A = this chain, B = another copy of it.
Amino acid sequence: MHQDVARLVVSCDDRPGIVAGVSGFLFSRGANILASEQYSSDPPSGQFYLRVEFQLEGIAESRTAFEAAFAGEVADPLQLQWRLTCASDRKRCAVLVSRYDHCLVDLFWRARHGDIDADLALVVSNHDDLRDEVERLGVTYHHVPVTRATKPEAEAAMLAVLEGVDFVVLARYMQILSGRFLERLGVPVINIHHSFLPAFPGADPYGRARERGVKIIGATAHYVTEELDAGPIIEQDVARATHSVDACGLERIGRDIERTVLARAVAWHAEDRVFVDGSRTVVFES
């Protein structure tokens, strides 16, 4: 299925000729376009985003030459920001978790069934509770406790074990990551927040939703930035909750939304379907 499949993702200032240039290049190389999606934030200027999935015999082997040619013939003249990924190079992902297991269990279940096209390579937790669950799956479990006093050392320890991952997923990881940590980590971090952002950022969103009397609760997957729960949103979903649903019921309903929303965000990120466009994202959903 992955054989000879690659993805070209482009983001740049919009200008005439990008699609003609890219598609002309692919045609000239004999590539078959499998899927192509594009978006202009404000045509004819604004930002332009393009994702092309194509099949080309031997692309994994000929990749370097292909990239050099594409840069010279298309990307440099048109000043494109671009990236080529071969579908066979699955992204390496670390999952951070605290004590709730629903997102973690669900992510691994989906990865095993091929719904998430990434390698969930390791788990890091500030608790030791889920070790058995994770190790049973043949995945390495790193227990890195965090206290206010030991946070710098803990983050350093985490950076060490996260070395080499392509992205990080916070599957209900209840510690705030410092700006310095994020900067040194240097790869995207996806968080699941258990509210419909921007409503109820921060602590105890279900309790506050109950207090406010909302009739619908939600969950939000977003890229993590230094500002808490304020990063670009990748995906959201909601469920109804009548007056008779108590805080415990909200958590129960919410778990289903959290795990689904996070799974979609992770799957899309893994397949290079998400572009950050300032404070927003452009998502070419599968």
**Residues of A that sit less than 8 Å from B by CB:** 16-17, 19-20, 23-24, 26-27, 30-40, 43-44, 55, 102, 105, 109, 113, 115, 136, 196-200, 211-216, 218, 232-238, 242-244, 249, 252, 256, 260, 277, 279-283, 285-286
Q: Which residue of B lies closest to A246 (CB)?
A: B42
Are A32 and B44 in contact, with the CB atoms below 8 A? Answer: yes
Are A40 and B35 in contact, with the CB atoms below 8 A? Answer: yes
Are B19 and A23 in contact, with the CB atoms below 8 A? Answer: yes
Lowest 5 CB-CB distances: which A-B pairs, in order? A213-B280, A32-B44, A20-B27, A199-B199, A20-B23
Specify the main secondary structure of chain A where it touches its partner: mixed
Instruction: Please report the C-alpha to C-alpha distance between residue A260 and residue B252 in the assembled complex, in whole angstroms.
Output: 12
Q: Which residue of B lies closest to A237 (CB)?
A: B216
**Can you list 14 pairs linking A and B with CB atoms under 8 Å apart?**
A16-B30, A16-B31, A16-B32, A33-B38, A39-B243, A39-B244, A197-B212, A198-B212, A199-B199, A211-B279, A213-B281, A215-B235, A242-B283, A243-B280
Are A252 and B115 in contact, with the CB atoms below 8 A? Answer: yes
Contacts of A105 in B (CB 8 A): 109
Are A279 and B212 in contact, with the CB atoms below 8 A? Answer: yes
